[in-house]
Every structure is written in C-alpha cells, then in structure tokens.
Amino acid sequence: MSAYIAPLKDMRFVLNELACLGAVAKLPGYQDATPDTVDAILEEASKFASEVLDPINYSGDQEGSKFAGGQVQTPKGFRDAYKKFCEGGWNALPFEAEWGGQGLPKLVSTPVQEMWKSSNMSFSLCPLLTQGAIEALLLRGSEPLKRAYLPSMVEGKWTGTMNLTEPQAGSDLSLVRTRAEREGDHYLISGQKIFITYGEHDLAENIVHLVLARTPDAPAGTKGISLFVVPKFLPGPDGKRNGARCASIEHKLGIHASPTAVMVYDKAVGYLVGEENRGLEYMFIMMNAARFAVGLEGVAIAERAFQRALAFARERVQGRDLVGGGGAVPIIRHPDVRRMLMLMKSQAEAMRALAYTTAAAMDFAHRHPDKETRNKHQSFVDLMIPVVKGWCTETGIEIASLGVQVHGGMGFVEETGAAQYLRDARITTIYEGTTGIQAMDLVGRKIAREGGATAKDWISQLKKLDADLAKSANADVKALRSALAAGTQAVADCVDFIVSAKDPRVQFAGAVPFLKLMGIVAGGWQMARAALVSEKSLASPEGDVSFHQTKLATARFYADHVLVQAPALRNTVVNGAAGVMALSEEQFLAA
Ligand SMILES: Cc1cc2nc3c(=O)[nH]c(=O)nc-3n(C[C@H](O)[C@H](O)[C@H](O)COP(=O)(O)OP(=O)(O)OC[C@H]3O[C@@H](n4cnc5c(N)ncnc54)[C@H](O)[C@@H]3O)c2cc1C
C-alpha cells in the first residue's frame, strides 16, 4: 500500500502564488508567518502525517472504535498518536498565543489540517471538534469559563465536542428539545443527543461537550436555544463525574475509527456560554470555520485517493500499448486511465486553490486594519463557504469513486485501501449541513437576500482576470480563457435568474446544480490564475520547469473536462425548476 506524501510543492505554490501568504504575513499579529517558519511547519507536519497518522489509517478503519460498558476504545495506535500529536504542539497550532497556541494565520493552519485529513480523516476529527468547541468558548465564553477550560483544551489534554443533533432535530435545529434548568450558578442539562463525533473515547483525560439546549421559559424555535459547556468530569480537585454518558456508538459506512456517540444527559451540570437564547446565533458565527474544515476534508480525501490510484496505475500491468506494440504495460499508459487520473489531479488542485484562497480571505477579514477591506473579504468568505463545503465534498466523493475505478476489481475489495477513501468521504456531504442545506444557504442568504451584490463583485474579478488572460498567446491559456468566459457568463445568468425569481421553490430547485456551477467556475478561476503564474515562470530562466509545465497542462485539462460543464449547468438552473416540481406526491407513488 502506498504511503501518503504531502503535496508540498503544490501547497507552497498555492500558498505563495495564489493565496498571497506574503500579504497575509504582513497583517497585524501574523509577522511570525515568515517563509522559513511556514516551510519548517509544513515539513514537520508532512512527516507526522506520513510517519504517524497514515500508518494507522487502514488498520484503524478495519478495527474501528469499540464500545463496551459505557467506554469507548479507539483502535490500536490512536492513543499513542494522539499523545505525540499533543506533545508536538499540533493541537495548539491554530490558536492564539495567549492560550498556548502559535497564533498563526488560518492560511498556514489550512495545509497542515489538509495533511491530517488526508493521512487519517478519522483521527483528524478529534482535534477538529476540539477546535470548534474552543472557538465557541473564545467567541462567547465568560472569563472564568475560558480560564477553566481553554488551556487544557488547547494543549489537547481535554478534547471537545459539538452536540447539536437530536433524533428529531437534524438539519432543522429549531426542533431541539434537550432541557436546561437553572440551579444556582449553573444549569442541569437533560436530554439525548445523537451522532456526536468523539462524544466518548480514551484519548484524553476529559471531554468537554458543547451542548445546545432550551431553558424552561425559552421561546419556541431557533430563538429559544442556548449553548452550554458540559464536561465529562467537572473541573476541580475531586474531578467529579458529571451526568453525561455515552449510551452507544454507531456502526457506520466509513470513518470507523472515529466514534460517533449517542449521548445521554441526565441532570448533567452545564455552564451557559454567552447569553440565554442566543446559542444558535453563536453556532452560526462559528459555522464558517466548521464548514470550511469539512470542505477541506473533500480536498484532502481527493488528494489521498489520487495518490493511491496513481501508485496503483504505475504498478498494475494490463493491456497493450495503443501505439508502442509489445507486451502488456502498466495501466497508466492507457488514455482512459490517464483521463481518470487527470480528473482526480486537476480537481484536487483546483479545490485546494479555492480552499486556501478562502482561508486567506478569512485572515484578511479578521485582521486587516481597514474596516471596509475587512468587510469586503468577509462577504467573499460568506459567499464561498457553502461552495467550499458543498463543491469540495461532492467532488471529493466523485474523486474517491474514480480512485476505486482506477483500481478495477481491486478497488472494490478492501485491502488496497481505495474503498476506504470512498466510504470515509461519503459523510462529508452530510455532516455540518448537507449539500442541499449549503446550496440553499448560497442561493437564499448569500445571493438572493443581497440582490447578488457579492456574487457580482466576484464576477467582476473574473472579468478582470479575463483581461489578463487575453494578453497571453499560449494555447493552453487561451483555452482556459474561453472556458472561463463561458463559465463566468453562466454564473452571471444564474445570479440574475436567482435574484429575479419570485417563487422560492424556483430559486431552490436548481440550488445544488448552481452550487456545483459556482464550484467549477471558482476552481477554473484559480486554475487560470495558476496558469498565468506558470506561464510567466516558464518564461524566466529560474524556476521549476517541470512543475510549471505540469500545472499548465493540468489547468488546460481542467478547462476541457471540468469547466466545460458550466453552460449545461446554467441551463439546468434556469430551465430545470419546472421538472423538479412536476410530479405530485401521488405520482411518485403511482406504479
Ligand atoms: C458520522 C456522523 C458524525 C456526525 N457528527 C456530529 C457532531 O459531532 N455533532 C452534531 O451535532 N451532529 C453530528 N452529526 C449530525 C449531522 O450534522 C446531521 O446528520 C446532518 O446535519 C443532517 O441531519 P439529519 O441526519 O437529521 O438529516 P435530515 O435533516 O433529516 O435530512 C435528510 C435529507 O433531507 C434534506 N433536507 C432536510 N431539510 C431540508 C430542507 N429544509 N430543504 C431541503 N432539503 C432538506 C437533507 O439535505 C437530506 O438530504 C453527525 C452525523 C454523522 C452521520
């Protein structure tokens, strides 16, 4: 089985040339993100991913986490890996120095997280959920709460969870029923939560649950939900066991090593985060980070599936060369296998570029001294988050599926590992809001509500890029320009259609195809930018000729095989609504 090797060259290219790390490092407080420091971090992270996390990915999947007597045992090697992860300071990396972190930009923690997710998605979910819980506390936790919980959580001694879902409350959190009754300086939390990632495990000393619940006098619906910290063990010298227990863990299609817990709260002591009835509002503020992180899982799993398929295609000997004659050859020589590998490679690179560029915009939105610039970047981030989440995860699944296809029958059996990526990828379009929910967010909140203003700003950026592309005489760049212009027009038509549609059913019927259109055009935008950088680099005497030739060819492939779908998607969005709603429920049932 081939080992994971972090795509450091592409990561550095995207960081420096497309996501403008140099400019991010000039933002206040990010001066430590020097090229040397970032390089050293990437090198070390890549070693940890290849040497510690990747080797326990397949075995972790086969063994899975086990539940017995209220306890969860993670697979062999996970405890040791987690210990090393925390000792290496990796858990703390994304956080502010004040809390023991390294205070690095989001743009720098993004490739590092990609490596964790590529090498072992199940493992990566534990620090990811801890990060979400830390961010909730940073955002609205009182000073005593922060002091009691953050240092141990940032260090990784304690992990965190997010408890939103209940049996009757999945996409629709207004239906949350878990109760919180005031008792002195705290609350007593009672109810059941399902699907709680790392809700119970044996990696850390304590688990800090962030739980959505309702106080007795709370208004119905989304405006009556509050957020509570409910630790497994109460902080303090006696470390009393709280009334939060795991009732079972799920048997799942993928991410077998990541325990997905049913949690029962029986008058568990909980502490309010922020104000009563504002829990969902806090969750929404944090949602960009969480959705971005899941989008990155799409990128990561696509990269990993590609690496494995490439290694297999170089080894598997089958069929004769179409032109060379002679005996059987490695399947990488066959055009259709090349096509599949190029689909995997080009889309993984386009998604990475979009994700990292969005991460950089988060840094600008957070730290730029000028308010207007911050707002502009925040609007871009808000527009792109559902695209990064929805498009990268949907495409991640397609790429993992192509990985199985490249393996032929060996992809369908477990021992090559290709099947695991497909199974693991399958959850990414479901949790943290399904693709349908992302698409509705994109169309409703991010486009229709503001008359398409941010989308139109982005379209004007695409048009500016067109002017730069027009200056090139390179055939690949010309092809990209033409496909991107058609894609830009397709997005512009859809934005006008969405903004002018009077019936929300018409707007939403094409929401997922529109999200896909936005994704492939945004990916094309990044590939076109990359192509221009590579064209320029090839004209200079220095630089990595092989890398830039490869990038240009990959970008050209993306234009011809992926971006080219844009006009058809436009037609689906603009003309397809009637067909979506055509059948009555009775007609669905009729034989
Ligand atoms: C492995 C795993 C880990 C998870 N981890 C966590 C966790 O750590 N914490 C946590 O709180 N939750 C977690 N979840 C829960 C996850 O976030 C939910 O499963 C997800 O939000 C979808 O909710 P649901 O399963 O109830 O599906 P439903 O909401 O019932 O959706 C079913 C289908 O209906 C569609 N749909 C629903 N409403 C609408 C609408 N208004 N318009 C259009 N389509 C709609 C959806 O897109 C979907 O296709 C996890 C789930 C899994 C499986």
Whose structure tokens read 């989308």? 455
The percent of residues above 90 in pLDDT, for the chain, comes to: 93
* Ligand 1, atom 48, residue with closest C-alpha: 434
Whose structure tokens read 């086990």? 66
Is the pLDDT assigned to residue 395 strictly greater than 90?
Answer: yes
| Strand spans (E) along 141-256 | 158-163, 179-183, 186-197, 206-213, 226-231, 244-249
pLDDT at 312: 97
**Ligand 1 center from residue 434 Cα (angstroms):** 6
Lowest-confidence region among 1-5, 464-468, 519-523, 564-568: 1-5
Query: Closest Cα to residue 335, out of 349, 317, 322?
Result: 322
pLDDT at 465: 98
Cα(220)–Cα(16) distance, integer angstroms: 49
**Is 432 an annotated catalytic residue?**
yes
List, as own/partner pairs, every contact residues 332-338 make where C-beta atoms lie below 8 angstroms and the sequence separation is at least 24, other chains included. Answer: 337/313, 337/406
pLDDT at 288: 87
Is the pLDDT assigned to residue 238 strictly greater than 90?
Answer: no
Q: What is the pLDDT of residues 412-426, one digit of tens each?
A: 999 999 999 999 999
Could you tell which of 72, 195, 443 is best to mutate to test the pocket of ligand 1, judged by most ligand atoms within 8 Å of the CB? 195
Is the pLDDT assigned to residue 139 strictly greater than 80?
Answer: yes
pLDDT at 446: 97
- Of the candidates 432, 450, 535, 585, the residue annotated as catalytic is 432
Average the pLDDT over 185-194 and give the result. 98
CB 575 within 8 A of CB 40: no
Overall pTM > 0.75: yes
CB 118 within 8 A of CB 55: no
Query: Closest Cα to residue 20, out of 435, 363, 517, 452?
Result: 363
The alpha-helical segments, DSSP class H, found in 432-510 are 435-440, 453-470, 475-500, 504-509
pLDDT at 325: 82
CB 348 within 8 A of CB 398: no
Query: Closest Cα to residue 297, out of 352, 345, 350?
Result: 352
Q: What is the pLDDT of residues 284-339, one digit of tens each?
A: 888 888 999 999 999 999 999 999 999 999 999 999 999 978 999 999 999 999 99
Query: Closest Cα to residue 155, out of 111, 118, 204, 197?
Result: 204
DSSP state of 323: T
Cα(118)–Cα(50) distance, integer angstroms: 10
Q: Is the CB of 192 under 6 A from ligand 1?
A: no
pLDDT at 410: 97
Cα(384)–Cα(373) distance, integer angstroms: 17
pLDDT at 285: 81
pLDDT at 253: 98
Task: Report CA-CA distances (Å) from 66 to 77, 81, 120, 582.
Answer: 14, 18, 18, 47
Q: Which amino acid is at 497?
A: F
CB 59 within 8 A of CB 75: yes
Q: Which amino acid is at 323?
A: V
Average the pLDDT over 90-96 and give the result. 91
CA torsion angle for 380, 386, 390, 395 (degrees, to 10)? 0
Is the pLDDT assigned to residue 2 strictly greater than 90?
Answer: no
| 279-301: burial string, b at 16+ Cβ within 10 Å, e else | bbebbeebbbbbbbbbbbbbbbb
* Sign of the torsion angle spanned by Cα atoms 146, 266, 66, 422: negative
Q: What is the pLDDT of residues 422-444, one digit of tens each?
A: 999 999 999 999 999 999 999 99
**Ligand 1 center from residue 587 Cα (angstroms):** 27
CB 42 within 8 A of CB 111: yes
DSSP three-state, residue 65: coil
Is the pLDDT assigned to residue 591 strictly greater than 80?
Answer: no
Cα(76)–Cα(490) distance, integer angstroms: 50
**β partners of residue 229:** 210, 271
Cα(247)–Cα(255) distance, integer angstroms: 19
Query: What's the mean pLDDT when you consider all of the chain?
Result: 96
Cα(24)–Cα(497) distance, integer angstroms: 36
Is the pLDDT assigned to residue 97 strictly greater than 90?
Answer: no
Confidence band of 239 (pLDDT split at 50, 70, 90): confident
* Ligand 1, atom 12, residue with closest C-alpha: 165
pLDDT at 543: 84
pLDDT at 485: 98
The percent of residues above 70 in pLDDT, for the chain, comes to: 100
Q: Which amino acid is at 260?
A: T
pLDDT at 541: 85
Q: Is the CB of 170 under 6 A from ligand 1?
A: yes
Is the pLDDT assigned to residue 404 strictly greater than 90?
Answer: yes
Is the pLDDT assigned to residue 138 strictly greater than 80?
Answer: yes
pLDDT at 542: 84
Average the pLDDT over 367-378 and give the result. 98
Strands 158-163 and 206-213: parallel
Average the pLDDT over 102-116 and give the result. 96
Q: Is the CB of 434 under 6 A from ligand 1?
A: yes
Q: Is the CB of 198 under 6 A from ligand 1?
A: no
Of residues 552 and 95, more confidence is placed in 552
> What does the block give as tokens for 91?
């858990």
